[in-house]
Structure 1
Amino acid sequence: MREAPVTPNGDRIRWVELPGAEPARVYLHGLGATSPAYFAAAATHPLLAGRRSLLLDLLGFGLSDRPADRAYTLEEHADTVAAALTAAGVEAAEVVGHSMGGAVAIVLAHRHPRLVARLVLADANLDPIAPAPARPGSSGIASWTEAEFLAGGRERVAERVGPFWWSTMRLAGPEALHRSAVHLARATVPTMRDMLLGLDLPRTFLHPLADGEPRDADGLRAAGVRVVALPDCGHNLMIDNPDGFAAAAAAALAA
């Protein structure tokens, strides 16, 4: 376990670090998740093991501190990750991001280019999402005001997401969870998609085969982003199909 202060108040990001060869590989989890739980099997898979790996929890989630006074925008998440990586002596990392973690990874590469050499995005958010009360993820959480979420919405979310997701989502600070969801649904300006298209580094977008290709996949390819379908999985690619995910990620990182 490692940690580093990332805010003026000394709030700390924590990560599980696996020793290995440089350059480092950084894993970033999705909304309501935690990287050690979601990425342990991938990081230790024979196809991906042997690299210095940081399974990092975003501020407000998992093992990291949960301050209630942060905005939890995607830009702020990227900046606090950058502070943690700088404290860890990481530069030119291979960053693997799932869902919201993929969105944060894109913003990190856009705002702190010296820290990121390659991106592997696992079904990452690229565009704004309209709030939808019946849905369990960011769009559902964002449909409540923060006051409504803190006064009972969080318990409603626990019922909707089920025991697997709730097992890690319950660790998130309530304010962090709601504000992160709101900003994820709102997206950045420019959007994460536009940032991704403008990056000058190797980029791969992994998506579940059953869901079909992401929106404007041809536009991603035209900008040099590899778009790869993974069979036998849903949104949690690395958990549903760990061997397939490790093979696809290893191929992306070797390309």
Structure 2
Amino acid sequence: MHSAAVTTEGDRIRWVELPGRAPVRVYVHGLGATSPAYFTATAVHPRLAGHRSLLVDLLGHGHSDRPVSFAYTLEDHADALAAALRTADVTAAEVIAHSMGGSVAVVLAVRHPELVSRLVLVDANLDPLPRVPGTPGSGGIAAYSEEEFLTGGWREVRDRAGAHWWSTMRLAGREALHRSATHLVRGTVPTMRELLLALPVPRAFLYPEADGPFPGAAGLIAAGVSLTAVPDCGHNMMLDNPDAFTEAVAKALA
């Protein structure tokens, strides 16, 4: 376990690091998750093992600190991650990032281009989302005001999330979880999709085959983003079908 102070108050991001050769690979989890739980099997799989790999927990999540004073915008997450990577002497990393982490990775590549040489986005959020009360994802969390979430809404989210997601979501700070979800559904200006289209680095996007054609696929392909449908999985494809997911990541990094 390694760590780096990433705010002026000294709040620390932590990551599990596996030794190996360059290029460095950085794994970034989604909302309410933690990278070691979601990505360790991927990072050590024979198709991907051997590279220096950082399994990073974003601020407010997993093993990292949970400051209440942090705003948890996508830009804030990206800047904090950048500070951690610089402390770790990482440049030109291959970033593999899931869900909200993919949105953060896109912003990281825009704001700190020297840190990212390639992006592999795993069913990442590219567009603003509606706030939908009673749903289990970010839109359901963001449907609460922060006060509502802190005073009891989090329990309703816990019950909707189910035991698996809650096993890592419960590690997140409650302010961090709500603010991260709120800023995720709000998105960026320009949108994460527009930022991704303009990036000059190699980019791949993985999505569950069961979801059908990915919205806006033609525009992504025209901009040079490779799209891969991963079979027999849902949103958490690295857990649902580890072998197919690892094969898709390996091809994207080839």
TM-score by length of 2: 0.99
Match of 1:250 in 2: 250
CA distance in 2, matches of 1:158, 1:62: 16
- The answer to whether the aligner puts 1:42 opposite 2:42 as a matched pair is yes
- The answer to whether the aligner puts 1:172 opposite 2:172 as a matched pair is yes
Task: Give 1:173's aligned amino acid.
Answer: G
CA distance in 2, matches of 1:45, 1:133: 39
Structure 2 residue ranges without an equivalent (≥5): none
1:1-255 alignment runs, 5 A limit = 1-254=1-254
CA distance in 2, matches of 1:239, 1:50: 21
CA distance in 1, matches of 2:160, 2:116: 35
CA distance in 2, matches of 1:46, 1:245: 13
Task: Give 1:178's aligned amino acid.
Answer: H
CA distance in 2, matches of 1:12, 1:227: 34
CA distance in 1, matches of 2:64, 2:190: 28
Task: Give 2:84's aligned amino acid.
Answer: A
Q: Deviations over 1:1-32 (max 9, x none)?
A: 00000000000000000000011100000000
Question: Per-residue deviation at 1:212?
Answer: 1.2
Q: Deviations over 1:110-144 (max 9, x none)?
A: 10000000000000000000000121110000000
Task: Give 1:152's aligned amino acid.
Answer: G
CA distance in 2, matches of 1:166, 1:102: 20
Task: Give 2:217's aligned amino acid.
Answer: A
Counterpart secondary structure, 2:181:
helix
Task: Give 1:229's aligned amino acid.
Answer: A
Counterpart secondary structure, 1:86:
helix
8 Å contact kept, 1:27–1:55: yes
Question: Per-residue deviation at 1:213?
Answer: 2.3
CA distance in 2, matches of 1:241, 1:117: 26
Counterpart secondary structure, 2:248:
helix
Counterpart secondary structure, 2:167:
helix
Question: Per-residue deviation at 1:155?
Answer: 0.5
CA distance in 2, matches of 1:132, 1:46: 41
- Identical pairs, percent: 67
Task: Give 2:240's aligned amino acid.
Answer: D
Question: Per-residue deviation at 1:82?
Answer: 0.1
8 Å contact kept, 1:207–1:213: no
